[in-house]
Structure 1
Amino acid sequence: MGLLFKWTFRLFLLVSALAVAALLLVYYFASRSLPDYDASHTVPGLSGEVEIIRNTAGVPHIFAADDNDVFYGLGFAHAQDRLWQMTMLRRTAQGRLSELFGARTLQIDKLIRRLDLYGLAQRSVAAQDASTRSALEAYAAGVNAWLRIVNQEALGRGAPEFFIFSPQIAPWQPADSIAVVKIMGLQLSGHLEEEVIRARASLLLPPERVRDLLPDAPGAGIAALEYASLFEGAALPRYAANTTPPKDPISPVPDRGLAGASNAFAAAPERSAAGGTLLANDPHLGLSAPSIWYLARLDLATGGVMGGTIPGMPIVLSGRSDKVGWGVTSAYVDDQDIFIERLNPDDPEEYETPEGFKSFETRQSIIQIADAPSETITMRWSENGPVLPETQYNLGAITPLGHEAALGWTLLTDQNTSIQAGLKIMRAQSKEEVIAAAEDYVAPAQNLTIVDETGIAMKTIGHIPQRDVRHQSEGRIPAPGWIETNRWQGVMPYGTNPEFIDPDGGILGNTNNKAVDRPFPNHVSHHYGDTQRVQRWRRLMLNRQVHTRDSFVEAQLDTVSFTARALLPLIAADLWFTGEAAPDGSPERRRQRALELMAGWNGEMSEHLPEPLIYAAWLRALQTRLIRDELGPLESEFSHVEPLFIERVFRNADGANVWCDVLQSAPKETCSDISRFALDDALVWLTEKYGPAIESWRWGDAHEATHDHQVLGTIPLLSAFVNIRQSTSGGDNTLMRGRTSGKGADPFQNVHAAGYRGVYDFGDPDSSLFILSTGQSGHPLSRHYDDLGVLWRRGEYIPMSLDPELARAGALGITKLVPAP
């Protein structure tokens, strides 16, 4: 027995030693790709020396005598810290994910190939002016210089992910940077899904009930149209089909309700305590590790520029120079339309146009698939845009037999000069110059909030489709593509895009809300990303005569829900303080205790409180009870609470309280009944998930921010090292927005939030503040992988200055790039 124990122990020690040795070997190879920030490299393609000075947060300050050398340095720094992320963005735009991930990403590749995003990017290179092409080429040369060093010095393939997925890394090209713009456009666009969901809802509901469920943003509007009336005589057997496939975390296509969002607001000098303009900006995107954002400071001939960049592009998208500051918010311009193309019954390769039948443009494309045979797809285009298959975006549910769906989208152009606009904005010396430079911007449409030393402005930038006033659906739902009046007639002149310059009140801002109220076809959009946050923002802005950097930070981090304050008095009006005390432990007592807590709550979505969790679960259960019997399978598409819908129902706007009566039941339920049932549903679910002690529930336990690595984050064991999870405050409708997933076992996880925050004070330029949601590095072994995320979660920032001496004084390391002889 002793001998058996002895050999078992020795075997255990041997296995343990081998495991430790294997881990050390893995660590050694993985750590080889950690860049040395204090090194000198001789590289080709430079006209002079470049210094990349990294501060203690890993933020590069890039100095050179020539602007193109500065862009070279930015490409080098991006590649050092985010090489895997950059190659994934490029591979996504090329429709080549399946070469690495096999059949799981095949549908993504098929969609991207049909949109021809990379082909359009390649053809757009010729549309750039000479200065922009030079900048793109210099940036690409900087990326490729780092790739060359990685290969020559065997630096762990550049990123640890390449040991698991080890494709050959092709040199970076100028078209790759333009392709990244197009992928960002895909992530920021949601009108296509809105058209489809409105069409599907109209096939089940009368127009007035569609208007309840999908109301226009407050202001002038028209009733929803009946989709079936546009295709009389066409068989639509799949009216309510629910064909949404599970979303792969690699997919760039956002779930409905998770397209781009942001906040930006500015104060003129007369509304600023320090006498200089103020600007705050926090763009919202899907959370990931690393963040899509990367901080940088560029020393250009026209002055220093600093702020948020996206690896793969040589521009500061949101930031400031010594003269100008700018921030971006998703404008929700209706720049997408689905056109239903009628096929020739005698030849399905032809579709109907106003001039008769015409052949589709076709091209074949081969998709290589890891561990499976390659697949060839036929890509087709009509005059209105690329034809999409029924399996994408639930198009099969609204496409009549004998028809196909084509997508019109301003992003689908080979004349995309958006990067050209970004480069001009960085060099602008006034808000007027910024507005003029932004005319080159194409897509995705944004609201650009601008400040200079004297004033403030906001301009919607990007192409807005010009529609005919006789358009059958006004772009709300898919329309027949063979009718001339449904087709686009180019784009609207840039001068007609909404614009606000130096308003009398001295305050400007946008939370993705409706900015202008103009009749169709000059309407900009019927659908906006916010009707709620803007109400809280207005309150905070009007509460002060003058603002400071700190008051702007306070507004950025505000977690009070206007929505909760507005809806709770409606849905709980007949429930608060009614009835006698119920026995302890009974469902009635649990409901009374929850209502007592809610009655004393001020709407603050604090991670430490139980009230936000009760509120969120209650509203979710309430909406489900209201719509489930009318929508059936389509109910799952409404995964987030629609505040205007709930308000219309409980205010009985245009008879909307009919939603409260359950169609399948004999009794006639009131809205108070449904509200009480929903609260009980929510409390049962919460008790099962978080235990019976209501006071111990915490919103932060449910509202964890999910900064997950898109690829390694799904691998057991590795996920514990590469995914970053944090308890967070905020919610769907707070200024510090933490959009919930709305699906699965954890529907309140924070999956979409401000990956970047910046506050710029032109009264004290060196006090400008910045933060990222993770860290500068994409390398899981780097201390800069998640160091900024700790500050982000606490609502803290880091300072950045345009003073080069301050950058040198606190340098973590200085990388020198010396031109090769």
Structure 2
Amino acid sequence: MPGCKVKPGKGMASIFKWLLRLTGGAIVLALLVVVGLYFLLSRSLPEYDKQLAVSGVLAPVEIVRDHANVPHIFGTSDADAFFGLGYAHAQDRLWQMVTLRRTAQGRLSEVFGARTVEIDKLMRRFDLYALARSSVEAQDEDTRNALDAYARGVNARLNEINESALGRGAPEMFMFNAPIAPWQPADSVAILKLMAVQLSSHLENEVLYARASLALEEEARLQDIMPLAPGSGIAALPDYAALVPGTETLRYAALPERPRDPLSPFNERAFAGASNAWAAAPSRSAAGGTLLANDPHLGFSAPAIWYLARLELQTGGVIGGTIPGLPAVLTGRSGDLGWGLTSSYMDDQDLYIEKLDPDNSTRYLTPEGYKPFRTQKSIIRIKDADPVTMTLRWTDNGPVLPGSHYDLASVTPEGHVAALAWTALAGDDTTMSAAMAVMRASSVEEALDAGRLYVAPSQNLTLVDSDSIAMKTLGAMPRRNASHESEGRMPSRGWVRQNRWQGISPYSANPEFIAPAGGVLGNTNNKTVDRPFPLHVSFLWGDTQRVHRWRRLMQNREVHTRDSFIEAQLDTVSFTARSLLPLIGANLWFTGEAAPEGTPERQRQRALTLLSDWNGEMNEHLPEPLIYAAWLRALQDRLIRDDLGPLAREFAHPDPVFIERVYRDVDGAAAWCDVKQSSPVETCTDIARMALDDALVWINENYGTALESLRWGDAHQATHDHQVLGEVPLLRYFVNIRQSTSGGDNTLLRGRTRGSGPDPFQNVHGAGYRGVYDFADPDSSVFIISTGQSGHFLSRHYDDLAQLWRRGEYIPMSLDPALARAAAVGITVLEPAAP
């Protein structure tokens, strides 16, 4: 109205009230959304204390979950026990199991869209799932029965989820909704084959060796940058360009960075498998019983790939580490036997360059002439995109892989394709039967005999029973011609008869060590035999360093105990640091006058002073491990960058043998120290000094200039990341598990670093499982995994074991039912459903 005025105070008060209402309403709405989301997600949290009627069991199955949520499964028959394991796996790790199955099937893109198409394409080319289906029939009767019973147990949980509306079984199912097909025995075999993909690295190493051969002008330098493990009896190889004509034009090809996807089984593929295992006979045991320690290493994830479980079988109780999807204790113990696995690094892959018919590209050259490819169409369905139809091709040697995979374009000349021969691509793979037979064995002799059925991935099996120890390399070992052109170390011509496999070597040819006179044996992925080609087992070994520290710890004691084995398993002293630092810094220690504060020279002197007093312990609380690791990384980069150019990025981890060869000038290896593009002739001391300055600049930019205040653990954080939700903003803080950790690339407590990217020292690959078994007092045995038993991030068992693992602690590994029932978190009884 004219003449009326609104008081300013009232207007502001009104606006303020409305703002309060809107803000309050938004908060209430957000809370309702959070509460609603929590309700939906929590519906899939397993209930462990219950009775449930199910189809597929003949008598009640009891699942007793101890205080750490380890299921102890009791049934009146082996089939019922495996049923219970399938049910327990599906309760805790359903999303993990389904994702592993989809990966092996090449069907990730149906759920995740275009981002996983390349993974699916490669899985389809390997044809893992078809091979798994045919391999089911190759298993022995007991194993087929176990696979069937396990599948029924998984499906019982799926039925329960559907009938009781249990939140689709896992939180991830709400974000990536897709039907879950019933579990089949072939699914388990396929996951075992997928483990072979993760544990094999010879294909990539062959390609890298060929690329380095094309990049380097001197053959001697190739032996430096990709050195053989110390030992004799290895013949020299020809230059790759001479071996496969037509590759000269590929010599300096620079490839783009390869994308990594959290769902890919190849994320840490350069690391392949790794692991430690050692055993002591009664003569070397303080308590008079055998001892075994085992810690297999894989890429970290949340949840861990491992799952602890105990089964009560007709042959007795077994307990240890399982992998969800597989009905077997892969590393563990029974009342009579302990067994552990380490990657053997057997060369079970060969890459062949196949020559196309210039007049008909549907044919390739064989020793008998041109022959048509075997082909098959395959359709990949992609979420929110059109399907992709691909043509799969096979030669006599194996599946054809395109140049986009494994950098094959860089070593495949025009008019040729690459094909892979690999023992894991067998359609009659009886590895599952071998795993089941080892689990049921009651003696070292029985377990060694069971290993005959093992095909892939090749492993070293370490065994102890009440009075004996042994180690045997398991897996099908290809039989190669002594005249093989590349000896399997780099790609060879597929049409040359002498390059082709001549079948599989007899099981007796696989290395074995039974009841050694010294009473102690072990493996850190080190070279196990020094035999000439073609009985050499491998040119590529996973360790040349940890074994030295292991030997020292084993020989320092006349007798061992469970605690001394644990001490060795958790040892963080780097033999590499102790051996290399005096070598590379020989002319830098305590030289020159004191430099002014604030200068690079002064910072270098401070770093050298710290390192001079260091014992090589890669302790998370110390600054020296970070200075050392950054120095070695910068040093190798300085040594190889001018010679290899863009290829240098493929050598992301310092190779101790390479650096030692350079600084000892083995066969002229000191030539790496001279920078070719510069006029002066640099010495190795010059490069070491410049690399240390590079490392200190990097440390200053990322962690500050106060060297004494640095912590290795700040850089060396274990990254147990959720493979799908780990990249989602905000949510990643709930699903990812990050921990400051000790250890490093070359310590027995292995914490393999990423090697590249903005956080090159993150701990991404290590012991997801640790176990120490004492047969003087079996129930005093212990084990642990790196996260928790549950894959549900709202469960208290998602990460409850993680801090124990980080601190080097364990939980009891007992077969005593009374101990399992004491303070159990729940007891599930699965009863036969009424007919």
Q: Normalised by the size of structure 1, how large is the TM-score?
A: 0.99
SS at match of 1:343: strand
CA positional deviation for 1:612: 0.2
SS at match of 1:373: coil
Q: Distance in 1 between matches of 2:624 and 2:82?
A: 49
User: Any unmatched runs of 5+ in structure 1?
Assistant: none
Q: Could you give the per-residue CA deviations for residues 32-85 of structure 1, whole angstroms, max 9, x where no partner exists?
A: 001110011100011111000000100000001100000000000000000000
1:128 aligns with 2:139: yes
Q: What are the residue-to-residue correspondences of 1:197-346 with 2, within 5 Å? A: 197-205=208-216, 206-220=218-232, 221-232=234-245, 236-237=249-250, 239-346=252-359
1:84 aligns with 2:100: no
C-alpha contact (below 8 Å) 1:98/1:368 kept by paired residues: yes
C-alpha contact (below 8 Å) 1:576/1:599 kept by paired residues: yes
SS at match of 1:180: helix
CA positional deviation for 1:19: 0.2
Q: Distance in 1 between matches of 2:272 and 2:831?
A: 42
One-letter code aligned to 2:830: L
CA positional deviation for 1:257: 2.9
SS at match of 2:330: strand
Q: Distance in 2 between matches of 1:612 and 1:306?
A: 37
C-alpha contact (below 8 Å) 1:243/1:394 kept by paired residues: no
Q: Distance in 2 between matches of 1:743 and 1:52?
A: 44
CA positional deviation for 1:231: 2.0
Match of 2:206 in 1: 195
Match of 1:540 in 2: 553
Match of 1:5 in 2: 16
C-alpha contact (below 8 Å) 1:257/1:640 kept by paired residues: no
Task: Specify which of 761, 772, 790 is matched with residue 777 of structure 1.
Answer: 790
One-letter code aligned to 2:231: G
One-letter code aligned to 1:485: Q
Match of 1:352 in 2: 365
CA positional deviation for 1:255: 3.7
SS at match of 1:236: helix
CA positional deviation for 1:249: 1.2
One-letter code aligned to 2:747: T
Match of 2:519 in 1: 506
CA positional deviation for 1:503: 0.3
Q: Distance in 2 between matches of 1:698 and 1:22?
A: 41
How many residue pairs are counted as aligned between the two chains?
821
Match of 2:704 in 1: 691
C-alpha contact (below 8 Å) 2:268/2:299 kept by paired residues: no
CA positional deviation for 1:233: 5.0
Match of 2:483 in 1: 470
Match of 2:588 in 1: 575
CA positional deviation for 1:810: 2.9
Match of 2:27 in 1: 16
1:757 aligns with 2:757: no
Match of 2:682 in 1: 669
Q: Distance in 2 between matches of 1:235 and 1:457?
A: 48
Match of 2:535 in 1: 522
CA positional deviation for 1:254: 4.3
Q: Distance in 1 between matches of 2:822 and 2:796?
A: 21
CA positional deviation for 1:517: 0.6
Q: Distance in 1 between matches of 2:688 and 2:421?
A: 42
Match of 1:93 in 2: 104
Task: Specify which of 610, 616, 639 is matched with residue 652 of structure 2.
Answer: 639
Match of 2:162 in 1: 151
SS at match of 1:665: coil
CA positional deviation for 1:224: 4.0
Match of 1:370 in 2: 383
The RMSD of aligned alpha carbons is: 0.8
Q: Could you give the per-residue CA deviations for residues 422-451 of structure 1, whole angstroms, max 9, x where no partner exists?
A: 111111110000000111111000000000
C-alpha contact (below 8 Å) 1:235/1:401 kept by paired residues: no
Q: What are the residue-to-residue correspondences of 1:547-626 with 2, within 5 Å? A: 547-626=560-639
Q: What are the residue-to-residue correspondences of 1:20-99 with 2, within 5 Å? A: 20-99=31-110
SS at match of 1:585: coil
Match of 2:758 in 1: 745
Match of 2:4 in 1: none
CA positional deviation for 1:234: 5.7
C-alpha contact (below 8 Å) 1:47/1:69 kept by paired residues: yes
Structure 1 runs of 4+ aligned residues shifted over 6 Å read: none
One-letter code aligned to 1:115: F
One-letter code aligned to 2:153: G
Task: Specify which of 175, 186, 194 is matched with residue 164 of structure 1.
Answer: 175
C-alpha contact (below 8 Å) 1:607/1:703 kept by paired residues: yes
CA positional deviation for 1:803: 1.2
Residues 607/149 of structure 1: CA separation in 2 closer, same or farther (3 Å cut): same
CA positional deviation for 1:243: 3.9
Q: Distance in 1 between matches of 2:721 and 2:245?
A: 47
C-alpha contact (below 8 Å) 1:277/1:761 kept by paired residues: yes
Match of 2:5 in 1: none
Larger Rg over CA atoms? 2
CA positional deviation for 1:100: 1.1
Q: Distance in 2 between matches of 1:756 and 1:463?
A: 26
1:139 aligns with 2:150: yes
CA positional deviation for 1:798: 0.2
One-letter code aligned to 1:408: A
Q: Distance in 2 between matches of 1:638 and 1:662?
A: 18
One-letter code aligned to 1:774: T
Match of 2:471 in 1: 458
One-letter code aligned to 1:223: A
CA positional deviation for 1:641: 0.6
Q: Distance in 1 between matches of 2:267 and 2:524?
A: 19
CA positional deviation for 1:131: 1.2
One-letter code aligned to 2:230: P
Q: Distance in 2 between matches of 1:810 and 1:458?
A: 38
Task: Specify which of 722, 728, 734 is matched with residue 735 of structure 2.
Answer: 722
Task: Specify which of 783, 789, 795 is matched with residue 802 of structure 2.
Answer: 789
Q: Normalised by the size of structure 2, how large is the TM-score?
A: 0.98
CA positional deviation for 1:204: 1.4
Q: Could you give the per-residue CA deviations for residues 689-714 of structure 1, whole angstroms, max 9, x where no partner exists?
A: 00111111110000000000000001
Task: Specify which of 100, 106, 113 is matched with residue 102 of structure 1.
Answer: 113
Residues 373/241 of structure 1: CA separation in 2 closer, same or farther (3 Å cut): same
SS at match of 1:127: coil
Q: Could you give the per-residue CA deviations for residues 640-681 of structure 1, whole angstroms, max 9, x where no partner exists?
A: 011100000000000000000000000000000000000000
Task: Specify which of 127, 131, 134 is matched with residue 116 of structure 1.
Answer: 127
CA positional deviation for 1:238: 5.6
CA positional deviation for 1:230: 1.1
Match of 2:187 in 1: 176
Q: Distance in 2 between matches of 1:192 and 1:233?
A: 20
SS at match of 1:608: coil
Q: Could you give the per-residue CA deviations for residues 751-782 of structure 1, whole angstroms, max 9, x where no partner exists?
A: 00100000000001110100000000000000
One-letter code aligned to 1:216: L
One-letter code aligned to 1:653: V
Q: Distance in 2 between matches of 1:242 and 1:749?
A: 25
SS at match of 1:688: helix
What percent identity do the matched residue pairs reach? 67
